Structure 1
Amino acid sequence: MTKYGNKLSWAVGKKTVLCIGTTTIDFVSTIKHFPGENTHQQVIGGYWIRGGKASNNCTVLANLGVKVELLGVLSNWSVFQVLIDDLRARGIIIENCPRCDQGAPFSSVILCKATKTRNIVYCNNNFPYVSIEDFRKLDLNRYGWIHIRALYFDKSLPMVKDIEAYNATSKEKIVLSIYFDNNLDDMWPLMDYCDYAVFSKKLAQTNGWTSMEDACLQLDERLRMRWGLNLKRPYVVVLWGDQGAGFMDLDGNFTHAKPHKPRRIVDALGAGDTFMGTFIYALYIRERSLAVAVDFGNRMASYKCTRNGYDHIANILLPPIL
């Protein structure tokens, strides 16, 4: 298998990107029409893929030649070994991942061509999440960017506080990005620590957001209502599917980044994870502006949808054919 993490790229000389979260087994089936109750249907196609948001972010970054590490609990079950082998083959660092003897999380994904919908059934099995003790075994001097999904507040808060403490005494600061897609009220205190806060469209219904601009305006108001000393104001990005993304600078100014729709969608699974990985790449590795990074993330998420998986993303590193 190609060692995607060893590509000659703009990432030479950059510190490691750390993604904290989970990796899962995703079983993907494509069907013509969604089946009725108590019926059987032959799928058009199917495959399994290593999933999980942090795991996918790592795959995207590794494909772009970035030195990247996953921090997440890995299962010792033999069926899970194929995922570990895949992580290693791609050059994704997993040496600091804790292990357990519990069955790994998995998802059943059904892609329906008639309705162009994606249905996901997820099984976690109360699988453990990395602890602050696991995090504190890391040498933070090795990292230039850390990305966390806001999934468990009690576990994430000590980690972001440790990053803040490290940055207070270090000349080379770690950039922290956090992805929010559920339980915003519970996760909101994490906003005080991150440099970039990315929100999913999934949050819209539960928070009453009617558009990406409305979401940014409400988030801006909530940020301005905070009280305390030395509160950090993050850059904010709100993803809105096929409508693109909205983002705010540190003064709360809103900008709409238009979508780049592919002519033909083959596989939209993981488009949001592709945005996140390429967004980090543009900001950290290529040192581009927020506006350029959001536009690049939109373009790459669209390009991801034109094929299965993530490996074709590495095509942007190839010289054009003359």
Structure 2
Amino acid sequence: MGSLAPGHIADFILEDLTRCGIDVTNVITQTGCSLPTSIVISNIISGCRTILHMNRNLPDVTAQDFEKVDLTRYKWIHWEGRNANEQLKMISRVEKYNSTAPKEQRITISVEIEKEREELYQLFPHGDLVFVSKDVAKSLGFSCAKDAVIGLYPRVKSG
């Protein structure tokens, strides 16, 4: 699920995803917006990369958009931390669904916290699986992956 602005580039993206067997049923077309463009500049020698983003007026998916999703079709839903307050509402809907669903029909919830933004950290306790970037781990004071796992343990869901 995601947002796209209308136009020939979005048409190309949707056609390509469909050709690759990816279901685009839940893509939200946002009118009056521009499709974001990212350019990646890679340094072959050092392996570093710089990403340039343009056209940042495309809205993120909202909880209201997510209400249209048929949860019975999914076994795993992943959220990339963006608009955390809306995402918490979406996750809450899945948690409510899971609380009444038989074990074999429950949906695994995963969250990714890549950006060093405090508001995203409220997602930590809601994932069955939580992905954390090296930058976030370092910003929270951890110097290696092992320390991050141990240090973040109290902030994540038990298990």
- Matched position secondary structure for 2:23: coil
Match status 1:107 vs 2:38: yes
Structure-2 residue corresponding to 1:189: 122
- Which of 7, 10, 25 in structure 2 is aligned with 1:80? 10
Q: Deviations over 1:79-137 (max 9, x none)?
A: 33211111110111112211123111111111122333211112242211111111111
- Which of 62, 79, 103 in structure 2 is aligned with 1:131? 62
State the TM-score, normalized to the length of structure 1.
0.46
- Matched position secondary structure for 2:26: coil
Structure 1 unaligned spans of 5+: 1-70, 224-231, 234-249, 251-322
Structure-2 residue corresponding to 1:208: 141
State the TM-score, normalized to the length of structure 2.
0.89
Q: Which moved more, 1:181-190 or 1:164-173?
A: 181-190
- Matched position secondary structure for 1:91: coil
RMSD of aligned C-alpha atoms?
1.7
Mapping of residues 28-39 of structure 1, within 5 Å: none
Q: In 2 relative to 1, CA 216–156 (structure 1 residues): closer, same or farther, beyond 3 Å?
A: same
| Equivalent pair of 2:113/2:133 in contact (CA under 8 Å) | yes
Q: In 2 relative to 1, CA 222–135 (structure 1 residues): closer, same or farther, beyond 3 Å?
A: closer
| Equivalent pair of 1:109/1:120 in contact (CA under 8 Å) | yes
Structure with more helix by fraction: 2
Structure-2 residue corresponding to 1:180: 113
Distance 2:134 2:81 in 1: 15
- Which of 91, 94, 117 in structure 2 is aligned with 1:160? 91
Q: Deviations over 1:195-242 (max 9, x none)?
A: 11111112133222211112122212445xxxxxxxx42xxxxxxxxx
> Partner letter of residue 203 of structure 1?
V
Distance 1:133 1:222 in 2: 28
Q: Deviations over 1:167-210 (max 9, x none)?
A: 01111111111111124532233233221111111213322221
| Equivalent pair of 1:160/1:190 in contact (CA under 8 Å) | no
Q: Which runs of 4+ in 1 moved over 6 A?
A: none
Mapping of residues 1-322 of structure 1, within 5 Å: 71-101=1-31, 102-171=33-102, 172-183=105-116, 185-223=118-156, 232-233=157-158, 250=159
Distance 1:157 1:90 in 2: 30
Distance 2:111 2:137 in 1: 17
Structure 2 unaligned spans of 5+: none
> Partner letter of residue 169 of structure 1?
T
Distance 2:95 2:155 in 1: 22
- State the identity %: 29
> Partner letter of residue 131 of structure 1?
T
Distance 1:132 1:112 in 2: 39
> Partner letter of residue 96 of structure 2?
A
> Partner letter of residue 149 of structure 1?
E
> Partner letter of residue 107 of structure 1?
S
